Chains A and B, each alone.
Chain A
Amino acid sequence: MADFDQELDASGLNCPLPILRAKKTLNGMDAGQVLHVIATDPGSVKDFDAFAKQTGNDLMESKEEGGKFHFLIKKS
């Protein structure tokens, strides 16, 4: 997994909390910085894809590893 600037563990949280927490964390970050989100909600895969498309942030990576979902989002 590539480098990231901040990490957000949203394990155990269900829709829409992972997205809301990610948005809040991104608000406090600078453009170009990368956020690593860890989630266990299977719905978050499609949700983070949709979130990135609609907010213009770049979803650099989306993968499942060890039963958890990992997302790398670069703030636009």
Chain B
Amino acid sequence: MDEKKLAIIATKGSLDWAYPPFILASTASALGYETQIFFTFYGLQLLKKKLSLEVTPLGNPGMPMPMGMDKWFPVLGLALPGMQGMMTSMMKQKMKSKGVASVEELRELCQEAEVKLIACQMTVDLFDMDQKEFIDGVEYAGAAAFFEFAGESDICLYI
């Protein structure tokens, strides 16, 4: 049986959007897929050694709010200072209590499973980021390198 391939582009840098690429990549590896994730723009935040990912209720009408907070806080209230930090810590607590892995843990599992993590060199330069900020084992490449793998993939996801 030929090994199947999964290619993912991760473009978002918030706590909630950190999950899909790492969950799918680690699971695909367990199922025998060869997997690559190409991190670009805000997705690069997911490769930082020290993750400081947050979740925001702003512009997200689908986000379930604890204790009916959405009724008490209209949209402008959600923009109050401290609201994002509070929502982030509540989300993290909820995930922990439900046995959902942390982003760090899923990322480690991906690395253990030899998921290839590729950072978009152009975005690294654009945002004046330093390779020292990123975890070890990350490769740096561009769009053409992504297509070399994605063109052969069975599944290709843009997240």
Taking beta carbons and an 8 Å cutoff, which residues of A are in contact with B?
A: 12-17, 19-20, 22-24, 40-41, 51, 54-56
Given A15-B23, A54-B31, A55-B32, also A41-B109 (CB < 8 A)? no
Chain B residues closer than 8 Å to A22, beta-carbon distance: 30
Least Cβ distance of B26 to chain A in Å?
6
- Which single residue of chain A is at the shortest CB-CB distance from B112? A24
| Given A14-B99, A17-B99, 20 extra CB contacts under 8 A | A14-B98, A14-B101, A16-B23, A16-B26, A16-B30, A16-B101, A17-B101, A19-B30, A20-B27, A20-B30, A22-B30, A24-B112, A40-B99, A41-B99, A51-B31, A54-B31, A54-B32, A55-B30, A55-B31, A55-B32
Complex interface: chain A residues within 8 A of B109 (CB) = 20
Contact partner, B30, options A12, A13, A14, A51, Cβ 8 Å: A51
- Interface residues in chain B, defined as those with a beta carbon under 8 Å from any beta carbon in chain A: 1, 23, 26-27, 30-32, 98-101, 109, 112-113
B26 near A20 with CB under 8 A, answer yes
Tell me how far the C-beta of B4 lies from the nearest C-beta in chain A, rounded to whole angstroms: 9
Interface of B is mostly: loop
**Nearest CB in chain B: distance from A52 CB, A:** 10
Q: How far is the CA of A12 from the CA of B113 in the complex (A)?
A: 23
Measured CB to CB, the closest approach of chain A to B135, in angstroms, equals 19
Bound form: Cα–Cα A55–B31 in Å: 6
Residues of B within 8 A of A40 (CB): 99
Q: In the complex, what distance in Å separates the CA atom of A20 from the CA atom of B99? A: 14
Closest 4 CB pairs of A and B: A23-B30, A14-B99, A16-B27, A12-B99
A5 vs chain B, min Cβ distance (A): 20
**Residues of A contacting B26 in the complex (Cβ-Cβ under 8 angstroms):** 16, 20
Q: What is the minimal beta-carbon distance from B122 to any residue of chain A, in angstroms?
A: 31
Chain B hits for A14, CB < 8 A? 98-101
In this complex, what residue of A is CB-closest to B30? Answer: A23
